[in-house]
Amino acid sequence: MTIAVIPYAGKADAVLYARDVIDRLREFGCSFTIPTSLKDKLKCSCAEYFDSEFEAVKNADLAVSVGGDGTIIHTAKDAAVLGKPVLGVNCGRVGFVAGLEPSELSLLGRLFSGDYAVDERMLLEIDVKKNGECHRTYALNDVTVTNGAVSRMIDLDVYLNGEPITSYRADGVIAATPTGSTAYSLSAGGPVIEPHMKCILLTPICPHSLFSRSVLFSDDSEVMICKGSASRADPFITVDGRHSESIGGGDTITVRRAPCAARFIKLNNKNFYRILNEKLNERMG
């Protein structure tokens, strides 16, 4: 078995635990693929090195991502496009999408006994049309449209399957997957959705109207968000907490269910609600 090992290079603990993962998996005769940028940090003699994380995952059977939610999400999106499963090892503060805590690395042997499950999670496919050009990206958690650093409300128009359905005057709006319902959307007052469900969650951020609430759309829906004509400030779009860019008049953000899905390996028997309670208690502690 060939395993891509992708730790967050900027965190010493993540690199340390990645070395532990390699040492444990080497006992089972595994080979490894690792990004060249991590060669000096991991120093693995039984690894093949590749120019990018994407290429390292492409040339492996599965990926082990070591870090916080941001690191694991980034690896999971690469793996989803390539049809590969990913195991997340949490080295962050929360770790909602992680399959293991560092204290549970002894469970890695289950990868070879078959004693594990694979959770499939829906992704969002996002087309951003800006200045007449269109580029596509994917989100495991959410895409947010906000007022950026400007402390004023923005006006946003929302369309469903090409038809106008509502307008928001708010600090922004979040389009989230069920996995992302426990991220920014939850902080904005949105509901918790079981991650195996298939739907698109739309949550306004600090809306001017007291009657604006989260809305759920079926997974075959296409939601388009654009700047309202009354908005004086250009909103900013951010995908999974990264890649922020401004959106002007005439630009559009189209959100739909992606044709691929993220596949997370689970080596323990914890269910979603047990994990949710543990992580939320840790966050409040």
Q: Which residues are catalytic?
A: 69
Q: How many angstroms separate the CA atoms of 264 and 262, rounded?
A: 6
Q: Which helix (H) or strand (E) holds 71?
A: helix 69-82
Q: How many angstroms separate the CA atoms of 253 and 22, rounded?
A: 41
Residue with tokens 């991502």, as numbered in its chain: 65
> What is the largest distance, in Å, between two alpha-carbon atoms of the chain?
63
| Number of neighbours of residue 12 by Cβ within 10 angstroms | 12
The residues facing 259 across adjacent strands are none
Q: Rounded to a whole number, what is the distance in angstroms from the first to the last CA of the chain? A: 40
Q: For residue 131, with 0-12 CB atoms within 10 Å meaning exposed, 13-18 middle and 19 or more buried, which class applies?
A: exposed
Query: What are the C-alpha distances in Å from 29 to residues 23, 32, 39, 56, 64?
Result: 10, 10, 20, 18, 16
Q: For residue 220, with 0-12 CB atoms within 10 Å meaning exposed, 13-18 middle and 19 or more buried, which class applies?
A: exposed
Counted residue by residue, the chain has a size of 285
- The residue among 48, 46, 50, 47 whose CA lies nearest residue 36 is 50
Do 265 and 65 contact (CB within 8 A), yes or no? no
